[in-house]
């Protein structure tokens, strides 16, 4: 790493190597002397941050013409222009993209059939739609970078619908007949997971991590601190889903083995590692049986919200049950009340 001290700005500039055009990996500002700046560079947090950026430029170069090489160039040339927080987010997605697509050539990813492969990868993360969409956005940006450099002529990731777009999924609900049929196609642990999603409307990530100490038997409800509210802004007051223990939900909970701190466990007795592991245990089996072809696990949450509203829940009640922020119930009502499901329920009521 090459260090350049600027007395005029009281800043120590850090470059990946010495020479014209070397990428800058950081800077230490506000120091009276170069010695003071070098001392601050010894701080573990600062040193770790700089070392992480330096590794982007000093690692071995992948073979040209492959997505791994494009990723390496993207990290070296484009990533440093982003804010630190954005870099961290993009790096996590770029690592996943490299794992899945790294050995694919740029020529192959532009051929017919590549978009279908990208869609399949995108949908494989449907249990966490926001994460899936951010990963897709990262891939789109990577391929746009390739186009700008004239390494690619087309962007096969462009134009793919996002999973979390409200307008795209607002009218998608699980028919009760599909839910019932799905239960019969699953292993006991996955069947219990599907029932919990159906009866509570929890996000898959929250359902996978629901702990027994969040089931308040004596008070008659589940109190779950939602993952999304914590991740969105940890500084704000967290949101809780407060779900009444209906007879059906009590029956399910009594069936669940007490092998772990979490309510849901796998066939091996341990907790589901993530929403994606739950999704991978459920959706491929349903597809194999010709069930839920165009549905996602996350759509069950919208189905439960729709049922709450159609069964007479007030906006305030729905906010408590679903873990929405106060005042969001009215907006969610406009999103989730599915006209087709309403007509179906009215027909059953006769």
Specify whether the CB–CB gap between 290 and 185 falls below 8 A: no
Least-confidence region, from 46-60, 151-165, 221-235, 256-270: 46-60
Specify whether the CB–CB gap between 229 and 323 falls below 8 A: yes
Q: Give the start-end residues of each E strand in 194-303.
A: 215-216, 221-225, 240-244
pLDDT tier for residue 167 given thresholds of 50, 70 and 90: very low
Out of 21-30, 41-50, 68-77, 194-203, the most confident range is 194-203
* Sign of the C-alpha dihedral computed for residues 121, 125, 126 and 130 taken in this order: negative
Tens-digit pLDDT profile for residues 233-281: 555 688 999 999 999 999 999 999 998 999 999 999 999 988 888 999 9
What confidence score (pLDDT) does residue 218 get? Answer: 96
**Bridge partners for 244 per DSSP:** 221
Tell me how far CA of residue 119 lies from CA of 157, 162, 281, in angstroms.
Answer: 8, 10, 19
The residues, any chain, with a CB within 8 Å of residue 168's CB and separated by 6 or more, are: 161, 162
Specify whether the CB–CB gap between 142 and 309 falls below 8 A: no
How much is the average pLDDT of 226-238?
A: 66
pTM score: 0.57
Percent helix, strand and coil across the chain, each to the nearest 5: 55, 10, 35
What confidence score (pLDDT) does residue 166 get? Answer: 46
Query: Which DSSP string do the residues of 71-134 spell out, in sequence order?
Result: HHHHHHHTGGGS-HHHHHHHHHHHHHHHHHHTTSBTTGGGSTTHHHHHHHHHHTTTTSHHHHHH
Radius of gyration of the chain (CA): 25
The residue with tokens 């459920």 is 282
């Amino acid at each position: 790493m090459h260090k350049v001290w600027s007395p005029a700005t009281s800043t120590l500039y850090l470059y990946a190597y010495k020479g014209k055009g070397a990428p800058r990996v950081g800077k230490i500002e506000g120091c009276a002397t170069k010695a003071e700046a070098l001392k601050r560079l010894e701080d573990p947090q600062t040193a770790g941050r700089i070392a992480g950026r330096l590794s982007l430029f000093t690692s071995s170069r992948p073979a040209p013409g492959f997505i791994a090489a494009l990723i390496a160039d993207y990290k070296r040339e484009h990533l440093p222009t982003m804010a630190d927080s954005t870099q961290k987010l993009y790096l996590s997605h770029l690592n996943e993209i490299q794992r899945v697509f790294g050995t694919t050539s740029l020529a192959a990813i532009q051929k017919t059939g590549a978009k279908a492969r990208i869609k399949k990868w995108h949908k494989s993360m449907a249990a966490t739609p926001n994460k899936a969409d951010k990963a897709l956005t990262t891939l789109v940006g990577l391929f746009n970078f390739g186009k700008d450099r004239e390494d690619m002529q087309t962007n096969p990731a462009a134009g793919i619908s996002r999973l979390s777009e409200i307008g795209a999924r607002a009218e998608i609900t699980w028919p009760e007949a599909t839910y019932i049929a799905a239960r019969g196609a699953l292993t006991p642990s996955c069947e219990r997971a599907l029932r919990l999603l159906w009866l509570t409307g929890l996000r898959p990530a929250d359902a996978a991590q629901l702990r027994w100490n969040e089931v308040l038997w004596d008070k008659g409800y589940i109190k779950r601190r939602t993952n999304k509210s914590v991740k969105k802004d940890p500084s704000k007051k967290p949101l809780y889903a407060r779900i009444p223990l209906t007879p059906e939900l009590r029956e399910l909970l009594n069936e669940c083995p007490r092998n772990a701190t979490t309510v849901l466990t796998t066939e091996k007795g341990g907790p589901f590692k993530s929403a994606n592991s739950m999704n991978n245990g459920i959706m491929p089996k349903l597809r194999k049986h010709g069930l839920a072809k165009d549905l996602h696990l996350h759509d069950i949450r919208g189905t439960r919200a729709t049922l709450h509203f159609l069964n007479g829940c007030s906006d305030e009640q729905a906010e408590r049950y679903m873990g929405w922020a106060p005042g969001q119930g009215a907006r969610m009502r406009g999103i989730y009340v599915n006209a087709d499901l309403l007509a179906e329920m009215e027909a059953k009521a006769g």
